Amino acid sequence: MENKLSPEIVLNALKAVKDPDLHRDIVSLGFIKDLVVTDSRVAFTIQLTTPACPVRDQLAAQARQAVQALGIRDVDVRLTSAVMGGRPGKIELIPNVKNTVAVASGKGGVGKSTVAANLAVALKRAGASVGLMDTDVYGPSAPILMGGSSAPAVVEGKSGPPGEYGIKLISMAYFLPKDEAVIWRGPMLHKTIQQFLGDVRWGELDYLIMDLPPGTGDIQLSLSQTIPLTGAVIVSTPQDLALTVAAKAIAMFQKLNVPILGIVENMSYYVCPKCGHREDIFGHGGAREAANKLGFPFLGEIPLDINVRVQSDSGKPVALDEATPYGKTFQEIAGALAAQISIANFQKEQEISIE
Amino acid sequence: MTVPIVPKKIKLAAGNDTLSIEWSDGHISAYPYRHLRDKCPCATCSESSSSRHVEPGPFPILGEKPLRPERAELVGRYALQIYWSDGHSSGIYSFPYLRELCPCAECAWRHSGEEASPRVC
């Protein structure tokens, strides 16, 4: 080897590798850590902005190739991640939660809770620390979807949420007998949201997923006013009826200056397990079209499938198994969502100063 | 998608009984306290100002506390809540609403003839 290899030469070569979402090279993004360069060997770690990064393997392969092109055969690439938060300051109620994501739809019955639970599971499976907050006080469903039945333990006056599948979880369902109903007006809902945020020991979380009830009312407003949300995911079925109502949820978030991280199409199509015939029961592609028209990312589509329903009802979200087609689908949607969160956080928001 | 215009720096006491906002697009608004207080968007104030608004006279009652914002807090990502010295604090001034209220000549001209944006309470 005639040329002496230096860290500078390696970093220069790695600058050819660009993050496709952030549109910058991985060196200037500060992703390269622990670079060790000897004459015959190069080792480094790529620190991604999320463990759910959809392009992680692609980036690792490109980085390896870039260094190998320098004539080095022994290249050791490790992948790690450190999830970023978007704000310079900490949020008082949840100081160690990096990102808060509302899952909303406007219309009821489109599968918000199922999508929220599976996104939480998929992010967890990818290696992130995740919480799931069921903000639907009137119709709580998260403990059914997640298979949790025990009420949260109270530690030092604060509830410690149980961890189903390693996900911290809070829901009104824990505080009510099964057949009882919550019959409340707005101010009580507001108080509940504040308690779900501040009186629960969330600890350190990369992502807190919030399952919202239908509508554009008290809960949505309380949540958006109490904390600066990282963003919102809109779930819709492909039919016009659902999309029309979803547009109202989008309008609400825009008024509240909450970024729309993307749109998910649920019940996107149905494939008969007997004959393989595909039926677009609610139409198909409507949510994608709406996303394109409005300029929001389209995060993915989930077919109407009996397995999703059966596993949801039995408290075993399909996202627990990436080997199944629907498990893989949720993993991809969670990856796309995590990428959008990273993009939003990279556009570092300036803190608003009040003096 | 357009990037929303939001405040960068809010000064509660910017001199001459005004609150100033420096916006993300560089514009600077200076609001006389009385103007801002009169435009409080809360349900009670917007109700009373449309039906029976009483202009404050030129001579304030002796001993009355001068009007000023004692503190202010951000509401989520979209608004400012001002705690006035008269004890009132329920108004949530959304950023677009505050921008609309900018009393400078340029903004006043731009907003003339425009409909006020629907409120979020």
Whether the predicted pLDDT of A322 surpasses 50 = yes
- Are A119 and A165 in contact by the 8 Å Cβ rule? The answer is no
Of residues A184, A225, A243, A265, the one with CA closest to residue B93: A225
Are the C-beta atoms of A322 and A125 separated by less than 8 Å? Answer: yes
* Segment A181-208, tens digit of pLDDT: 999 998 999 999 999 999 998 999 999 9
In this prediction the ipTM stands at 0.76
* CA dist., res. A305 & res. A315, Å (int): 16
CB contact under 8 A, A257 and B1: no
Whether residue A285 is predicted with pLDDT greater than 50 in this model: the reply is: yes
Distance CA(A238)–CA(A290), nearest Å, equals 9
Tell me the pLDDT tens digit for each residue of A59-117: 999 999 999 999 998 999 999 999 988 776 678 899 999 999 999 999 999 999 999 99
Q: Which residue has the higher pLDDT, B21 or B4?
A: B21
The domain ranges of chain A are 7-81, 97-346
Interface-testing mutation among B8, B22, B78, B82, with chain A (most A C-beta atoms within 10 A): B78
Q: Note the pLDDT tens digit of each residue in A235-270.
A: 999 999 999 999 999 999 999 999 999 999 999 999
Q: How far apart are the CA of B54 and the nearest CA of chain A, in angstroms?
A: 31
The pLDDT tens digits for B30-45 are 999 999 999 999 988 8
What confidence tier does A226 reach under pLDDT thresholds 50, 70, 90? very high
List of chain B residues whose C-beta atoms are within 8 Å of the C-beta of residue A296: 1
Q: Give CB contacts under 8 A, 24+ apart, made by B33-36.
A: B33/B67, B33/B68, B33/B69, B34/B67, B35/B101, B35/B103, B36/B69, B36/B82, B36/B93, B36/B101
Task: Report the C-alpha gap between A84 and A98 in whole angstroms.
Answer: 7
Q: Which of A228, A256, A354 sits opposite B10 (nearest CB)?
A: A354
A355 CB near a chain B CB, below 8 Å? Answer: yes
pLDDT single digits (tens) A126-137: 999 999 999 999
pTM of the model: 0.88
CATH architecture of the domain A7-81 equals: 2-Layer Sandwich (3.30)
> Would you state the pLDDT for residue A92?
86
pLDDT for the residue numbered A40: 86
Q: Across the interface, do A355 and B10 touch by the CB < 8 Å criterion?
A: yes
For chain A, strand residue ranges (E) read 18-19, 24-25, 32-37, 41-48, 74-81, 97-104, 130-134, 153-155, 158-160, 163-164, 167-171, 205-211, 231-236, 260-266, 270-271, 278-279, 298-302, 353-354
Given a cut of 90, whether residue B2 has pLDDT beyond it is no
Residue B65 in tokens: 């506390």
A218 to chain B: closest CA residue? B121
Cβ partners under 8 Å of residue B109, min gap 6: none
Q: What integer is the mean pLDDT of A142-161? A: 78
Q: Average of pLDDT values for A136-153?
A: 86
CATH match of B7-50+66-111 with 3.30.2020.30: yes
Average pLDDT, chain A: 91
A323 touches chain B (CB under 8 A): no
CB contact at 8 A, A301 and A288 = yes
Are A278 and A270 in contact, with CB atoms under 8 Å apart?
Answer: yes
pLDDT tens digits, residue range B44-98? 887 765 444 445 555 555 556 789 999 999 999 999 999 999 999 999 999 999 9
Task: Name the CATH architecture for the domain at A97-346.
Answer: 3-Layer(aba) Sandwich (3.40)
